[in-house]
């Protein structure tokens, strides 16, 4: 039996110790633990890495604490436009959706694109038609309403600026979510889900739904899920870059992840972090911001939940 393990993130950003109440910190840690343990249990029972990452991300999408699913940030128009992706390292199959509204669990829709369509990436109206034809309920805007997010948006809504959810200092409402896992059969998978940036307009899409940028998985190398300034992560083709460094330069998952986050993405002036796993279950979770919500658990008995450095 292969070692198995899972890692999850809830976004990277200016998470400075002391800015958040201890109660809120405990809430975040509890939400991370729940999501991680849901995924781990699937692996423990012999389930697939793909099922583990989808279920862990679903759990993070269902809490208002993170910028994905229920907690998605407001766009310039006062709506919620969500992006998500998933990739199977065994087959290199992938699915992604972008600019979807009213979908409770965008990562599951991404998986359906992968498994029930001939395509990899569906966006906007077409993705919504696909969701409806596959029986998805469309939630009302109230489901996604959150006062803190609303205030965040009100603060910048009349300006031309847009803001990364995780760069807000005043509160603890940060982050895109993601998961990577390695199962007992030695297969790996990755998934990412986000509401994008507060006040985004013009159909802005970040790295999260883009295979190679915000997500990647290949049994030969690693599975990756990213969080950070999406425009830079797209230009850095970050998730695939980690895989390439392993494949072509022979770096370990830890070395490759560090090289990308602490060197290559910084050279582009991008900030953020990623979680990565290889087919032996080794995990890396580097970030170049002040913090990143993250947690992991391995079959060797290691487990941790962190927010700060």
> Which residues in this chain contact ligand ASP in the complex, by CB under 6 A?
11, 67, 164-166, 175-176, 194, 196-197, 206-208, 227-228, 230, 233
Pull the structure tokens for residue 84: 């998500």
Closest CA to 35 of 16, 9, 17, 12: 9
Minimum Å gap between C-beta 119 and ligand ASP is 21
Residue nearer to ligand ASP on the CB measure, 11 or 106:
11
Determine the residue with CB nearest ligand ASP. Answer: 230
Q: H-helix or E-strand containing 123?
A: strand 121-123
Minimum Å gap between C-beta 180 and ligand ASP is 15
**C-alpha gyration radius of the chain:** 17
Please check whether residue 6 is in contact with residue 180, taking contact to mean a CB–CB distance below 8 angstroms: yes
CA dihedral for 263, 266, 268, 273, sign (positive or negative): positive
Considering 101, 176, 192, 198, which one is annotated as catalytic? 176
Please check whether residue 206 is in contact with residue 75, taking contact to mean a CB–CB distance below 8 angstroms: no
Residue nearer to ligand ASP on the CB measure, 81 or 183:
81
The gap from C-alpha 32 to its chain's centroid, in whole angstroms, comes to 13
Minimum Å gap between C-beta 186 and ligand ASP is 29
Please check whether residue 174 is in contact with residue 67, taking contact to mean a CB–CB distance below 8 angstroms: yes
Minimum Å gap between C-beta 226 and ligand ASP is 6
Q: Is 140 a catalytic residue?
A: no
Residue nearer to ligand ASP on the CB measure, 146 or 207:
207
Residue nearer to ligand ASP on the CB measure, 13 or 281:
13
308 sits in the region (left: phi over 0; alpha: psi -120 to 50; else beta) called beta
Residues assigned a catalytic role = 176
């Amino acid at each position: 039996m292969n070692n198995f393990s899972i890692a999850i993130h809830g976004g990277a950003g200016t998470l400075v110790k002391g800015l958040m109440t201890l109660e809120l910190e405990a809430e975040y840690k509890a939400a991370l633990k729940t999501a991680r343990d849901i995924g781990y249990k699937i692996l423990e029972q012999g389930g697939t890495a793909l099922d583990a990452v989808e279920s862990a991300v679903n759990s993070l999408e269902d809490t208002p604490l993170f910028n994905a699913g229920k907690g998605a940030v407001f766009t310039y128009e006062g709506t919620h436009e969500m992006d998500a992706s998933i990739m199977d390292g065994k087959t290199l199959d992938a699915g992604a959706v972008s600019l979807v509204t009213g979908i409770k669990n965008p990562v599951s829709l991404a998986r359906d694109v992968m498994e029930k369509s001939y395509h990899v990436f569906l966006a906007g109206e077409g993705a919504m038609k696909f969701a409806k034809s596959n029986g998805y309920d469309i939630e009302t805007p109230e489901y996604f309403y959150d006062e803190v997010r609303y205030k965040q948006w009100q603060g910048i809504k009349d300006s031309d600026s847009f803001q990364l959810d995780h760069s807000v200092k005043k509160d603890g409402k940060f982050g895109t979510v993601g998961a990577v896992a390695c199962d007992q059969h030695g297969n790996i998978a990755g998934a990412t889900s986000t509401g994008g940036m507060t006040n985004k307009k013009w159909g802005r899409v970040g790295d999260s739904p883009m295979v190679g940028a915000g997500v990647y998985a290949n049994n030969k190398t690693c599975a990756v899920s990213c969080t950070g300034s999406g425009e830079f992560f797209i230009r850095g083709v970050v998730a695939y870059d980690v895989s390439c460094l392993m494949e072509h330069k022979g770096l370990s998952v830890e070395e490759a992840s560090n090289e990308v986050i602490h060197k290559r993405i910084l050279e582009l002036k991008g900030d953020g972090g990623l979680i990565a796993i290889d087919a032996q279950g080794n995990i890396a979770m580097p970030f170049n911001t002040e913090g990143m919500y993250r947690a992991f658990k391995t079959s060797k008995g290691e487990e941790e939940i962190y927010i700060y450095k």
